[in-house]
Each structure stands twice: as C-alpha cells, then as structure tokens.
Structure 1
C-alpha cells in the first residue's frame, strides 16, 4: 500500500492552483472540469508520477468546519518534506508567504508552518 492522493480543502480552486504552482513550485497534474468545480491535482516537480494533492473545494459544510477548526487551532492540514527548512523558509518568505511558525528544531525534525492563502496551514519538515 502506498499514498496515491490526499485532499486539501480550499476556498477557491483557481487561487489554490496559482499558490501551489506559482508560489510553492508544484506542478499541475490533473485539471478535469466537474460542473462548477474541477478535479484539480498537483504533484512534486521531481516526482510527477508520485502522490497527488487534490485541491478540493470546501463547499460541503463539514469540510468547511473541519478546515476552519484546524486553522483556528493552528494545526497544519498537510506536511511537505523539504531538504532545508531554513532555505525554504527564506525562499517562500521572499515570495510573500506568511509563516505562523518560523523554523523550529525539535529533536530530529526541523519544521516551519505557513498560511497557504486558501484557508489552511501547511507544515514543511526536514528529518535529520
């Protein structure tokens, strides 16, 4: 068993796609119209056949409550691995990304948390 896809609820799919591709550097994998919404996924640029992040509309009341509750408690909805948290923090800060947690080392892990502008907090992590 391996990870195929995970969902990140977003307020606006077009804005989410722009943020996840233009700002973070992911690559669009699927963009399939589904009425008012889209089956919209992104992947890591160096593993384009790897796990996909589905940028899923938060239209369902339960999805919206879940998203809002996690954000209010400061809980990231997803964690992305990076080679160097401090360097990624600097790169993303220069692109206007707002961090809610600066790089922090806790044992073998260094993490930082940012606002994805789509209603979520996202963690970046490097494990030593």
Structure 2
C-alpha cells in the first residue's frame, strides 16, 4: 500500500514515532519512505503527493473524506491501544468488538487517513474444538 501525502514529514513521524513502524531507511523529509510493523510481513509506503503529481503530469484534487484505510493486525489490542495513546495518538473509536471474530480500534494519521488496529479472536471452528 502506498499513501499519497501532502505533509510528508508529519505523516512520516506519525507512522514511525506514534504507531511504532520501522522505517526501511530514514527519509523524514521524503519524498518516499517505506515502513513496516515489527513482523516484517507488510509495509506501508508514503509518497509525497506533489512529487507524484510531477511524475504523472497531474494528480487530481485531494478527495474529501477518508482516502485510505490502513489495517494493522496486533496480538493484544488493549496493549497496542495503551502504547499508541501514550505516544500522543487520539483514537476515534476505542477498542471494541467487530462481530464475534475480532476487536478493533480506529485512529487517523495527520492527513486524515483512517487506521484500524485489529486483534483476531479465536475462530469459531477453534472454539468448537475446545474441551468442555
């Protein structure tokens, strides 16, 4: 996933310092960076919107509302929520259930992209196999 951002340094610092993602290389001033959770299985790339507009010759006006939903899976949602809150983040929705298979919490990055932290609970099939 690559997010096109206008305020590159602030967004970069948010993903690195607040969410705790690990930069693959230091690039706080942009125009491009790639950051990963400690699992290393996925990455979020940030691209300066104006620079990309120059590459394409144009880039339409910034859309209103959410432009992206970044989903980060965590092992312990309560712990992740507490840690990220201690780094200054304000959640738009505190941890709560989403159906019977996961718990989620939501916050926004400095440009208004929606971030979902999700903790998967035991699957129904596994719950059915548990001893009585």
Could you tell which deviates more after superposition, 50-59 or 94-103? Answer: 50-59
More strand by share: 1
CA contact (8 A) 1:30 1:41 kept: yes
Q: TM-score normalised to the size of structure 2?
A: 0.72
CA contact (8 A) 2:104 2:117 kept: yes
The gaps in structure 1 that reach 5 residues or longer are 1-5
Number of residue pairs matched by the alignment: 112
Residue 69 of structure 1 aligns with which residue?
65
CA contact (8 A) 2:2 2:47 kept: yes
Cα separation, 2, equivalents of 1:91 and 1:63: 35
- Please point out which of 5, 13, 18 is paired with 1:23: 18
Cα separation, 1, equivalents of 2:4 and 2:112: 8
Q: CA RMSD in A?
A: 2.3
Q: Which has the higher contact order (CA 8 A, sep 6+)?
A: 1
Cα separation, 2, equivalents of 1:63 and 1:37: 21
Q: TM-score normalised to the size of structure 1?
A: 0.74
The structure with more radius of gyration: 2
For the residue of structure 2 that corresponds to 1:69, the secondary structure is coil
CA contact (8 A) 2:17 2:87 kept: no
How far did residue 62 of structure 1 move?
Answer: 3.5
For the residue of structure 2 that corresponds to 1:102, the secondary structure is strand
CA contact (8 A) 1:103 1:110 kept: yes
- Please point out which of 42, 49, 58 is paired with 2:49: 58
